[in-house]
Amino acid sequence: MIVASPSSLYSDLDVSAQVDAPLAAHTWFGIGGSADLLIRPRSPEALATLARRCRRDGIPLRVLGSGANLLVDDEGVDGVVVKLDTECFQRVDFNAEGLVERMRVFGGASMEKLVQECARRGLAGIEPMSGIPASLGGAIRMNAGGRFGAIGDAVDAVTVLGMDGEQRVYTAAELRFGYRESNLPEGIVLWASLRVAPDDPMACRERVKEIFAYKKSTQPMSANSAGCMFRNPVMGDGTRVSAGKLIDQARLKGTRVGCAFVSQEHGNFIAIDRKADAPARTDDLRGLVDLIKARVLAEANIELQTEVVFWRRGEPA
Which residues are known catalytic residues? Answer: 180, 228, 307
CB 167 within 8 A of CB 190: yes
Work out whether the CA dihedral 190, 150, 97, 172 comes out positive or negative: positive
Helix (H) or strand (E) holding 298: helix 282-300
Pairing between β-strand 177-178 and β-strand 77-83 as defined by DSSP bridges? unpaired
Q: What is the DSSP letter of 215?
A: H
* Beta-bridge mates of residue 225: 271
Q: Quick one: CA torsion of 44, 45, 51, 57, rounded to 10 degrees?
A: -160
SS3 call for 75 = coil
- Dihedral sign for Cα 110, 116, 122, 123, please: positive
Crossing angle between the packed helical segments 111-121 and 201-218, to the nearest 10 degrees: 140
The torsion angles phi and psi of 32, rounded to 5 degrees, stand at 115, 170
The residue type of 122 is G
Question: Using an 8 Å Cβ cutoff, are 164 and 51 in contact?
Answer: yes
User: Which residues 6+ apart lie within 8 Å of 48 measured at CB?
Assistant: 161, 165, 166, 167
